[in-house]
Structure 1
Amino acid sequence: MNYLCIDIGTGSIKAVEKSADGRILRWGMLEKTDGPLQSSIQPLDEALAIHYLKTLVAEMHTESQDAVVSLPAFEVFTAIAPAVDPQYIPMSPNTFKLEAFPVNNKSFFLVAVPKEIIAKYKRIIRYSGLNLVRLELESVAVARVFADLKEPVLVMDVGRRSTAFTLVEKGMVNFLSHTDFALASNARNVIINKARALANQRGAKKIVLAPKFAVVNGLYRVSQ
């Protein structure tokens, strides 16, 4: 069965269709040049996202309607905690869905996705004529690309309006931070300096750029 892997970013929507045996069948991207699609301070415009996504899928002539979608770091709350417990998230427990990923024998990487964000993405995918299979934090997905590296690595995912810094060790997220300094702000030196500081603080041996396309649910990998 084919899958669509969709990344709704701050300045573009990207999609890849893969076959069941892992082959990339087709891919595409639509950019919004007159302003951001979304940012940490600007909510995603549902109608605009639906229009862009429907247009992109139509232009790609996709065969599948099943979609796995990535979530940007600024849409979720995260924490490193000693237990899988909602108390470590600064939100009311009934307002979010909690996922946990083991970091080591003593801690977990917690991801809390607000239910209103989940509902929004469900509407966008449904009204685009697709079936939502899974939502996943993009940093968790990207981390799997580096599962074969033995040493810690700091991954920079530089977008149009936001940059995510993810500390990865053996394919698992150990730390996640984001900033609104990004491509549109012409703040290359600020981003690099922040990355170096985080790498030193967290013991990362390398700093790398995230793959050109977001990796969604381990369904595809694209080298930088």
Structure 2
Amino acid sequence: MHSSGYERLQSQVIPGYSSLARLSVALLAASPVAQADGVEVMVAGCGTGAELLEAMAQRPDWRLTALDPSAEMLQEARQRLGEQATVQWRQSTVESLVDEAGMAGRFAGALSVLVLQSLPDDGSKLAFLTALARCLQPGAQLVLVDLMQTSLPSLEDQLEHAWQGFQRASGLDASSQEGLHPIGLARLTSLVNAAGFGDPARVFQALGFEGFLLQRLS
């Protein structure tokens, strides 16, 4: 699927998706560390490049590392953005990247949009978050957006049906959360604390999709 089709599909599946990249970049750009000129910022799981396009529009001075394990996604993003001197393209995972020389503590900020939800909570989520924290400078922030479990179990069925209704109203055959691994806020807090971040601050919510600001501890 080409980037335009992918973005259109995501906007039909996820309430508020069309604003997520813009909001995520604006939040990170206002952070104490990443607001400095010419800093390095990571886009973890860059997909077809929505966050990269916004970063280049809002902060053309940033030096971006676009990271994705999928060669197909990276190719789509590169075609979409064209060759840019300020973007370094890496087919890799954060867990592999952080072990390379010079990567620990390198970045002034990071974006991770709709990535953690695809990882099972069998150590994979913690490994991902820990690698992100290790890549960041002390005090740097991560914008994390994912599908979450509700803190009120009695609302789970209603939210699931509402999400499916939203998709049908957007012209899609409704899909479920099968294949995704959402967690609740208490579990997320435990994981990010163990990884080296402070408590998550919620900055976005639309049905089950939530966005958080996380700050790496010193």
TM-score (structure 1 length as normaliser): 0.28
Query: 1 or 2, which has the higher helix percentage?
Result: 2
